[in-house]
Structures are given as C-alpha cells and as structure tokens.
C-alpha cells in the first residue's frame, strides 16, 4: 500500500500532462499535476545534499524535460529557525518565530522557481502572471535520502515571511497588481502588494504577482510539455523498519543456532580428546607384568591367582 500511495501522484501526472493545453482553458487549476511536481522537485532538491552543512543553500538540478525550473534546498535545525530565522533564502526572508508542525529535529526548506512553467501548473483564469511562481515548502530532513515526504506545516507567529520578487513585469496602465498565493490544496488567495515587488505570507505555499488579463501583460509563452517518466520511489522509513522487523529475528536466530552448534562441536571434540589422553596414560603407566628367568631368557609371567582351582566332584572314582 505504501508503494501504491507513492506512485499515485506520478500516475495522475502522466494522465494529466497530455491534456495540459486543454485544461489551461478550464476554470480550475491542475492541482494533481502541481502536487506531483512538488513531490518530484523535493526528490531532486534532496539530491543536492552531499554531507550537507546546516544553514547552507544547495542549488539542485531538475531533469532535462523540466528545463527552466530552478530548485534549491536549505537544511536547518528546528530551534535555529525559530530563534534566528533566515535572513536571505533566494527571494524569501524568514523572520524569527517561525515554527513547524509536526515538530521535527531537522527540517529542509525546498525552494522552487517555476519560470515559464508557472501558468501551466497554476492556471488562474482571468489573470496573467507578472512574475514566475515561487514555492517554499518544508520537509523533515533527518533522512536526506527519503522521497515522497509529506510537507510540514510552517507558521510565522510574529513577523510574516517576506517575498521580494526580482523579475517583475510592467503593470499596464489602469491595472492593479496583486499578490496571489496557492496553498497545498491549490486554493488561491489574493493580497495587496506591500511595495512594487514585495508580498507577505504567514505560511508556506506558492506565490506570484498577477494582474487581470486583457491588459497586455507580458506573460511568457508556455513550454511544450513532454510526458514525465515515473521515478521509482525508494523505500520509506516505515517500510525499512518493517523489513528489519522481520529480518532481524531471522538473522538473530540463525546466528544463535550457528553459535550453539559450534559450542557443541567443541565440547564433543574436547571430550573425545580427553578420553584418548586418558587411555594413552593408562597404557603407558599401567601395572607391569612380573618377569621370570628361564635359562638365559627373561619372560613376562602373570601373577598367581588368589583362588586355587578346585575339583567339581571331590570323589575320585
């Protein structure tokens, strides 16, 4: 069942991708495709970790069929993020007081810049993007080889997280730019800009600046999608624990069997060797036979018997 759940987002992705151009005209976002993309990008972002240092940003590489998307990963101690925050993580500024739920000892913040793929994965009817879609998602980072991890929920309890976009298109005359954020369920939320290129958020998600369509905005042309191959997810921590839960007793029982078998063989050989040594000792140090002289020859002779022979019938015929 665990493997089946791991494959579902990618199976959904394969079914949806060939129909992206049709769905671009649909009133809803391709949330199944976007969630599958998050799972895939988490895997590739974690591959950038090679004996990772805490607080260091590692840029990842996406597969060639997603050229144009940028990713990065930042590994932090939970307490460090809460006490000090992160002054600069790409376009994001994370203040003090940000917490995660459920609690983990170490977490990783995965950064996404979807570039000209933004409108394909986050369709917003009636609006055009002035910036690429940026993503900030948190995951457990105790096992950096893990895949298909669920997102953690992060919350800025004090100052909000700031997003300073660096590539903002021109706002058409008469139009008003807005911040838009998508939560993990694909629901959009609109907020006012703090300045020309700054948006604020208290939670994780995907963020961009948009204007209403029909104003001559410069939304970049969307790339042509090729079907995404299904990556083979590695075993989860839960699956590995199940395997070791079964293999552990079997290996332990076999080792105990071999150990006691060796002990038994050693005892048998020791007993046999001891008996042989005792027999040799008796043969070399036993009671010697008496020797008698017969002429010039000395011959061994048995000792006299204690009881002399008696006739069975005393009467002699």
Sequence ranges of the domains in the chain: 2-234, 236-280
pLDDT interval class at 249 (50, 70, 90): confident
Number of other residues whose CB lies within 10 A of the CB of residue 190: 11
3-state DSSP call for residue 28?
Answer: coil
C-beta of residue 37 within 8 angstroms of C-beta of residue 13: yes
Q: How much is the average pLDDT of 264-281?
A: 75
pLDDT of residue 264: 80
Task: Quote the CA–CA distance of 257 and 260 in Å, as a whole number.
Answer: 5
pLDDT interval class at 33 (50, 70, 90): confident
Query: What are residue 209's phi and psi, to 5 degrees?
Result: -115, 130
pLDDT of residue 218: 45
- What's the pLDDT tens digit per position in 305-317? 555 556 555 555 5
Question: Which percentage of the chain shows pLDDT scores above 70?
Answer: 66
The top-scoring range by mean pLDDT among 211-215, 275-279, 281-285 is: 211-215
> Does residue 41 surpass a pLDDT of 90?
yes
DSSP character string of 119-156: HHHS--TTEEESS--EEEEEEE-SSTT--SPPPBEEEE
Distances from the Cα of 192 to the Cαs of 170, 172, 195, 196, 209, in angstroms? 17, 17, 9, 10, 10
Distances from the Cα of 115 to the Cαs of 120, 132, 161, 222, in angstroms? 10, 5, 21, 9
Task: Quote the CA–CA distance of 72 and 86 in Å, as a whole number.
Answer: 14
Q: How much is the average pLDDT of 92-116?
A: 94
Report the first-to-last Cα separation within the chain, whole angstroms. Answer: 108
Q: How much is the average pLDDT of 46-66?
A: 92
pLDDT interval class at 180 (50, 70, 90): very high
Give the residue with greater pLDDT, 126 vs 240. Answer: 126
Give the residue with greater pLDDT, 18 vs 192. Answer: 192
Give the residue with greater pLDDT, 312 vs 110. Answer: 110
Sign of CA dihedral 125, 91, 161, 94: positive
Task: Quote the CA–CA distance of 100 and 161 in Å, as a whole number.
Answer: 14
pLDDT of residue 224: 46
pLDDT of residue 253: 76
pLDDT interval class at 289 (50, 70, 90): low
Q: Average model confidence (pLDDT) for the chain?
A: 77
Q: So what's the architecture of 2-234 in CATH?
A: Sandwich (2.60)
Task: Quote the CA–CA distance of 150 and 39 in Å, as a whole number.
Answer: 8
The conformation of residue 203, written as its DSSP 8-state character, comes to: B
Task: Quote the CA–CA distance of 106 and 47 in Å, as a whole number.
Answer: 17
- Lowest-confidence segment of 168-177, 274-283, 285-294 by average pLDDT: 285-294
Task: Show Cβ contacts of residue 83 under 8 Å, excluding neighbours closer than 6 positions.
Answer: 96
Helix boundaries (H) for 47-109: 78-84
């Amino acid at each position: 069942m665990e493997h089946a759940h791991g494959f579902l987002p990618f199976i959904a992705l394969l079914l949806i991708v060939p129909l992206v151009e049709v769905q671009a005209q649909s009133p809803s976002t391709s949330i199944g495709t976007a969630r599958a993309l998050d799972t895939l990008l988490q895997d590739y972002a974690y591959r950038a970790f090679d004996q990772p240092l805490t607080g260091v940003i590692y840029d990842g590489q996406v597969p060639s069929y997603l050229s144009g998307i940028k990713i990065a990963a930042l590994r932090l101690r939970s307490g460090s993020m809460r006490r000090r925050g992160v002054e600069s993580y790409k376009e994001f500024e994370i203040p003090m007081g940000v917490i995660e739920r459920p609690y983990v000892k170490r977490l990783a913040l995965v950064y996404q810049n979807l570039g000209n793929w933004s409108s394909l994965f986050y369709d917003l009817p009636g609006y055009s993007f002035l910036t690429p879609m940026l993503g900030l998602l948190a995951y457990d980072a105790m096992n950096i080889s893990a895949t298909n991890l669920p997102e953690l929920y992060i919350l800025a309890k004090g100052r909000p997280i700031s997003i300073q976009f660096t590539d903002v298109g021109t706002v058409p005359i008469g139009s008003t730019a807005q911040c838009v954020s998508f939560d993990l369920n694909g629901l959009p939320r609109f907020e006012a800009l703090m300045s020309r290129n700054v948006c604020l958020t208290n939670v994780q998600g995907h963020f961009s600046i948009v204007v209403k369509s029909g104003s001559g905005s410069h939304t970049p042309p969307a790339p042509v999608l090729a079907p995404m191959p299904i990556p083979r997810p590695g075993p989860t921590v839960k699956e590995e624990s199940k395997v070791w839960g079964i293999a552990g007793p079997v290996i332990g029982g076999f080792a105990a069997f071999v150990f006691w078998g060796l002990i038994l063989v050693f005892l048998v050989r020791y007993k046999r060797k001891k008996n042989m040594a005792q027999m040799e000792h008796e043969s070399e140090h036993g009671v010697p036979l008496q020797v008698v002289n017969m002429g010039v020859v000395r011959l061994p002779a048995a000792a006299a018997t204690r009881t002399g022979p008696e006739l069975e019938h005393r009467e002699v015929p």
